[in-house]
């Protein structure tokens, strides 16, 4: 086979390509390193990537210095003082024409205030001796969080009457006739316990954190500062006051702060508040807070229920049909009388409806239906009179102008008093076996809080709420112990004594069997006991209950000399039986206090019989 010849170019083509690429690379490197093409102009100078940051920083510093050194151009206004003085000069009196008043001058209601800083903090009326209701119940403390948390506790509700009218008069006297509006804040209570010697001391008063209560009331901290025109309080702090005032003028939240409902009661004593005026008055007071524009005669929500239906809230379920018809007749008459007195179309219409229903009631006798027919015509005529007064804008024929707004609704008048209460119902707050007294003080919103320049003492403007003096103490109220025990047996052979226990356990008193303890034993035992069910009302559960005397047996004396005390022959007299040997048990508690219990006396103790009568016997 013949060989093909290769020319020199074909033989060295690879080397030629490598040489051209190397030359191109060397040319690019020379262009970048020697001629430096990556430049730009900045402020009349060329910068490279390595010098641009320094140039920009230098330029920024230069601009900042120019801004700082620059002085703004000031313009001096032309003085106009002379022209102002000339314009205020009075011309001669002959220029004016005398004018006679057309109407008599309007009398000034507010006393003239020559100095703004003449105010002194208003005095708040002091409560009278508060009333207290109390009980022992099992309550649901988890209702507010949506959980279930049953707890037994002792509770007390402390209540007093706030004199709204007197307080309004005091405020008008302090701040002027147009400043009589009262914003009531939740009251405060304190409690003291009776000392072991039966005495009371003012040093024992302690504040009580109420529970349950409504939403917390936010109270900002205010501070007085020196301002250009005198003492002042910062604007931001004064804005915080708006939140407090809003909370005190809200509807349901404010009602719940002044008269909060109690915990949800599972068993035990039902809650009730002290009725200091009438139950209806309390419902009207709620209505005034919640619905200030609602006619006062319309039905009111009975949220308190006076548990068990007592008092004015008695349920009609126990009335016979004839008795209920008679009660409806009396209610209709009272409503008609109120309509005449208050010139209320709403009451007249309500009475008309009631009389009509009585006419149709088969339980009403003939005489009652005839009377209802007559009074129905009278009520409808009264409604017609009020409606005529509305469309004519004139007083009705009964005389005078119909009060209220254009709709015919009577003007709402606040009751002159307001019943307030506070619950001492926090778990562990009240201790069984103690006797307490309570006292209360009222609080109102400081109408000029934040206005330091309006008080003689500027610090009065920092008091968001103004408090009254403390009321006199309430009557003493006692809470029985949660546990009791009695020594009712003796065992001389084993040197033991038999104990019987009682305990208030989640809504009921329960009792243990008799258990024996010797010297040195801690008087404590756990036993299966029948108790009321918490989850199924009316049923019973068998649970382990722990009973305790809270003490240890220190000694048992079977030959203790004892003289029984008996009633004497004369009124109030006593006599003692002959001495005899009895069994005495001495116990010591954790504080080192000694207690002696006699078996014969405990067997027949009246307290033991009273507790036995209250002991839970189980569901039937």
What residue spans define the domains of the chain? 116-292+415-478, 315-411, 483-614
Short-list 524, 530, 564, CA closest to 547: 524
Q: What is the pLDDT of residue 225?
A: 84
- Distance between CA atoms of 577 and 597, rounded to whole angstroms? 19
- Distance between CA atoms of 144 and 147, rounded to whole angstroms? 8
Q: Looking at the predicted structure, is the pLDDT value of residue 434 above 80?
A: yes
State the burial class of residue 328 (Cβ atoms within 10 Å of its Cβ: 0-12, 13-18, 19+). buried
Distance of CA 216 to the CA centre of its chain: 6
Q: What is the pLDDT of residue 332?
A: 84
Instruction: Report the 10 Å Cβ neighbour count for 205.
Output: 16
Q: What is the pLDDT of residue 34?
A: 58
Q: Indicate the SS3 state at residue 108.
A: coil
**Stretch 505-526: mean pLDDT:** 95
Non-local CB neighbours of 193 within 8 Å, separated by 6+ positions? 204, 431, 434, 435, 436
**Stretch 277-282: mean pLDDT:** 83
**Stretch 526-546: mean pLDDT:** 90
Non-local CB neighbours of 562 within 8 Å, separated by 6+ positions? 579, 580, 581, 582, 584, 598, 600
Q: Looking at the predicted structure, is the pLDDT value of residue 52 above 80?
A: no
Q: Looking at the predicted structure, is the pLDDT value of residue 144 above 90?
A: no
- DSSP state, residue 33: I
Q: What is the pLDDT of residue 138?
A: 93
Q: What percent of the chain has pLDDT over 70?
A: 81
* pLDDT tens for each residue of 358-412: 887 888 888 898 999 999 989 888 888 887 776 665 544 333 333 444 444 455 6
Helix-then-strand count for the chain, H and E:
14, 23
- Better pLDDT: 67 or 461: 461
* pLDDT tens for each residue of 303-328: 887 644 444 444 444 567 788 788 88
Please name the helix (run of DSSP H) or strand (run of DSSP E) that holds residue 193, with its range, or none: strand 184-193
Cis previous bond, 381, omega within 30: no
Per-residue pLDDT band at 249 (split at 50, 70, 90):
confident
* pLDDT tens for each residue of 573-604: 777 777 888 999 999 999 999 999 999 999 98
Distance of CA 238 to the CA centre of its chain: 23
Q: What is the pLDDT of residue 483?
A: 95
- Distance between CA atoms of 186 and 162, rounded to whole angstroms? 11
- Better pLDDT: 418 or 239: 418
**Stretch 425-446: mean pLDDT:** 95
* pLDDT tens for each residue of 476-509: 999 999 999 999 999 999 999 999 999 999 989 9
């Amino acid at each position: 086979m013949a060989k093909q010849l290769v020319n020199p170019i074909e033989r060295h083509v690879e080397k030629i390509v490598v040489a051209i690429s190397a030359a191109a690379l060397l040319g690019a490197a020379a262009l970048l390193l020697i001629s430096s093409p990556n430049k730009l102009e900045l402020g009349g100078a060329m910068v490279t990537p390595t010098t641009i940051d320094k140039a920009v920083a230098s330029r920024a510093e230069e601009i900042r210095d120019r801004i700082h050194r620059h002085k703004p151009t000031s313009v001096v206004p032309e003085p106009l003082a002379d022209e102002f003085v000339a314009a205020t000069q009075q011309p001669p009196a002959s220029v004016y024409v005398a004018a006679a008043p057309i109407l008599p001058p309007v009398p000034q209601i507010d006393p003239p205030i020559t100095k703004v800083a003449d105010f002194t903090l208003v005095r708040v009326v002091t409560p009278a001796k508060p009333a207290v209701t109390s009980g022992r119940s099992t309550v649901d403390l988890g209702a507010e969080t949506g959980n279930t948390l049953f707890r037994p506790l002792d509770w007390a509700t402390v209540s007093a009457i706030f004199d709204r009218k007197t307080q309004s008069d005091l405020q008008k006297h302090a701040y002027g006739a147009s400043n009589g509006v009262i914003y009531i804040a939740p009251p405060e209570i304190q409690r003291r316990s009776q000392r072991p010697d039966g005495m009371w001391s003012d040093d024992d008063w302690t504040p009580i954190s109420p529970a349950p209560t409504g939403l917390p009331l936010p109270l900002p901290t205010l501070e007085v500062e020196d301002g250009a025109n005198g003492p002042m309080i910062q604007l931001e702090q004064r804005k915080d006051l708006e939140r407090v005032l809003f909370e005190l003028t809200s509807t349901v939240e404010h009602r719940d702060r002044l008269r909060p409902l109690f915990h949800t009661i599972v068993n035990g004593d039902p809650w009730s508040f002290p009725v200091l005026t009438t139950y209806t008055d309390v419902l009207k007071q709620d209505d005034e807070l919640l619905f200030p524009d609602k006619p006062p005669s319309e039905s009111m929500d009975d949220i308190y229920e006076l548990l068990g239906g007592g008092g004015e809230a008695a349920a009609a379920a126990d009335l016979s049909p004839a008795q209920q018809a008679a009660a409806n007749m009396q209610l209709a008459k009272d409503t008609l009388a109120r309509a005449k007195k208050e010139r209320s179309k709403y009451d007249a219409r309500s009475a008309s409806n009631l009389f009509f229903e009585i006419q149709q009631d088969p339980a009403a006798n003939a005489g009652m239906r005839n009377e209802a027919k007559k009074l129905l015509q009278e009520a409808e005529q009264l409604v017609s009179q009020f409606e005529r007064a509305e469309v004519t804008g004139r007083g009705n024929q009964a005389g005078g102008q119909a009060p209220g707004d254009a709709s015919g609704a009577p003007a709402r008048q606040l009751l002159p008093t307001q019943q307030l209460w506070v619950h001492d119902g926090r778990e562990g707050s009240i201790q069984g076996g103690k006797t307490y007294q309570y006292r209360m003080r009222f609080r109102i919103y400081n109408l000029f809080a934040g206005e330091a320049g309006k008080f003689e003492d500027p610090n009065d403007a920092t008091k968001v709420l103004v408090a009254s003096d403390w009321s006199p103490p309430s009557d003493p109220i006692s809470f029985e112990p949660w546990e009791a025990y009695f020594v009712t047996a003796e065992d001389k052979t084993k040197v033991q004594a038999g104990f019987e226990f009682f305990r208030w356990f989640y809504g009921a008193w329960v009792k243990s069997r008799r258990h024996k303890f010797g010297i040195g034993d801690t008087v404590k035992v756990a036993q299966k006991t029948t108790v009321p069910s918490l989850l199924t009302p009316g049923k019973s559960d068998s649970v382990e209950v722990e009973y305790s005397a809270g003490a240890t047996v220190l000694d048992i004396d079977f030959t203790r000399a004892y003289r029984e005390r008996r009633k004497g022959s004369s009124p109030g007299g006593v006599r003692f039986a002959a001495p005899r040997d009895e069994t005495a048990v001495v116990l010591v508690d954790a504080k080192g206090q000694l207690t002696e219990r006699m078996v014969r006396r405990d067997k027949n103790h009246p307290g033991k019989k009273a507790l036995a009568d209250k002991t839970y016997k189980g569901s039937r």
